[in-house]
Amino acid sequence: MSCDLPPQPTAPPPSGANYSAEFGCFEGPEKLLEIWFSPTPFTSAAHDPNSDSDESSPATPNESQINLSLGFSNDLRTVDRHLWDTMLATVKCTVLSVVSSAHVDAYLLSESSMFVFPHKIVLKTCGTTTLLKAVPYILELAKTRCGYDNVYRLFYSRKSFMFPDKQPGPHRSWEEEVGYLDNHFENGASYVIGNTRAEEWYLYLTSPDVKHHNLTNMQQLMKETDGLSWMSDTEEYSWCNKINGKSVINTTNSNDNFYSTSVMGYRTHDETIEILMTDLNPKAMKPFYHQDNEPSGLVGGKRVDEDTGLDLLYPEANVDSFLFEPCGYSCNGLVDDGYYTIHVTPEPACSYASFETTIPTKPVELVGKNGNGREEAIRKLIRQVIDIFQPGSFTVTYFSSHFHQDQQSDNINKLVRSVDQFGGYKRKDKILHEFEGYDLIFGHYTKM
């Protein structure tokens, strides 16, 4: 099957080569792109409403069967590695290492990370990479290799650059980035969050695209996607019931208000916490430099984990860590269908570190006087991270999805209480945004 992609770039450099080194001081703040593709539409099934059977008998071959007959995989993880390499060469980065779980492939890149799920891709790159140039490649690969014609949701974000004049197009300004995305998506909205004279944070996101779907048979959808991370039917979650023979979605409200349902094939409860840190303590940065006679790469990365306490953030994780020469560090960690990723630029003139996680936080057992177990666990996680890097300033962004109005109220209370005061730092901003299906809290802190 032919793959009609945009013109291919020149061959990528050897794995691990750093495109941005030639520009001098490194641009640590990343560009973060997340694209969710629409689950395959399923045709209505002929179903006897009086039957107790969960089996469905489609009147015609469903879309999944048609896609398989055409050679589509319905899984981004089956895209050939050389096609991802070509896409990444367009972005100007290369693959260093890969680890996988049953749900996701985590690519450690020369300039940050990529996570590939069956129906979702997350690409995060720093330096002078041209991340948005990956968009047409990703859309075409998803269509020609997996049969995905439609994007369900897209998120693009970054903090303000340290050296904006070094950025090539289409990243020379936020207006240029928004224009580029608007040329590809009709339902996007852009936001500038935070003090425009200090630490700005930029966000572009699209509304959920549901106009192409006909998911009248949720039970069949669940069966055909069995085992995929976003369509789990474990006992912990309640996905759908049948009323008069029709599948309907419902919610599960656990004791700590953690909801997990499915709509359009995706979990309706989705959380991402990101901590962006600048002006890092030089003493805390010493472990992130290459040591005498020390192997760099994965061996050096493991040493950094142990010396800094990063290995204690998620002891159960499958971790892929990399130490650069002469300095710098990246890692990906996987826990079930969640991931975390850390990237560090330790040089004093441009020190920066980022931490991002989608791993659900387990509530702490001992809750404070006015606390909640999950909220306290989130505050504890943030405290652990900033204690390791000791930033002069840091920004927290915390995304959490909601499914209905009652859940949104609990969601907002959780977000507001999680991004609280942290000893030794003064909170300069605390901003709440409510989006379609998501809530966001933004907090910016400076050292006292």
CA dist 27 → 6, 111, 125, 245 (Å) = 28, 10, 10, 56
CA atoms in the 13 A half-sphere facing the CB of 398: 26
Q: For residue 239, is it within any domain?
A: no
CA distance 85 to 95: 7
One domain, residues 280 and 210: no
Residue 230 lies in a domain: no
* H or E element at residue 417: helix 405-418
Please report which helix (H) or strand (E) contains residue 271, including its range: strand 271-280
Residue 15: inside a domain, yes or no? no
Among candidate residues 75, 33, 5, the one with its CA nearest the CA of residue 229: 75
pLDDT for the residue numbered 210:
62
* pLDDT per position as a tens digit, 30-45: 999 999 998 543 322 3
* Burial status of residue 55 (CB atoms within 10 A of its CB: 0-12, 13-18, 19 or more): exposed
Which pLDDT score, from 0 to 100, does residue 267 have? 53
For residues 107 and 216, membership in a common domain is answered with yes
Instruction: Identify whether 311 is part of a domain.
Output: yes
Is residue 371 one of the residues assigned to a domain?
yes
Domain stop point among 208, 225, 242: 225
Sequence letter at residue 263: V
The answer to the question of residue 79 being in a domain is yes
Residues 275 and 221 in one domain: no
Tokens of 62: 């469903």
Contacts of 227 (CB under 8 A, 6+ apart): 102
127-170 per-position pLDDT tens digit: 999 999 999 999 999 999 999 988 999 999 999 998 899 999 99
- Answer whether residue 246 is part of any domain: no
Nearest to 162 by CA among 325, 18, 278: 278
Q: Among all residues, which ones are annotated catalytic?
A: 27, 30, 112, 126, 330, 343
pLDDT of residue 237: 30
Same domain (yes/no): 66, 200: yes
- Is the pTM above the cut of 0.85? no
Same domain flag for 62 and 194:
yes
> In this structure, are strands 391-401 and 271-280 parallel, antiparallel, or unpaired?
antiparallel
CA distance 388 to 213: 46
Give 291's DSSP letter.
Answer: P
How far is residue 226 from each of residues 230, 321, 392, measured CA to CA in Å? 9, 31, 46
386 with 321, same domain: the answer is yes
Note the pLDDT of residue 369: 58
Q: How far apart are CA 14 and CA 334, in angstroms?
A: 26
In a domain, 244, yes or no: no
Q: Are residues 102 and 181 in the same domain?
A: yes
Torsion sign, CA atoms 43, 46, 50, 52: negative
Same domain, 197 and 136: yes
CATH of the domain at 424: 3.60.90.10
Taking 50 as the pLDDT cut, the residues of the chain under it are 1-4, 6-23, 40-69, 213-266
Which amino acid is located at 78 in the chain?
T
Boundary of a domain, candidates 194, 225, 256: 225
User: Are residues 192 and 92 both part of a single domain?
Assistant: yes
- Residue at which a domain ends, from 225, 240, 260: 225
Q: What's the helix, strand, coil split of the chain in %, to 5?
A: 25, 30, 40
Overall number of domains in the chain: 2
Looking at residue 270, the DSSP 8-state letter turns out to be: -
**Does 441 lie in the same domain as 354?**
yes
Residue 209 lies in domain:
26-225
pLDDT of res. 133? 96
pLDDT at 363: 82
Beta-sheet strands, E only, within 42-187: 45-46, 57-58, 95-100, 105-109, 112-116, 120-125, 151-159
Length of the chain: 448
Sheet holding 105-109, edge to edge: 95-100, 105-109, 112-116, 120-125, 31-37, 151-159, 201-206, 188-193
Query: Quick count: other Cβ atoms within 10 Å of Cβ 268?
Result: 18
Same domain flag for 209 and 307: no
Whether residues 30 and 134 fall in one domain: yes
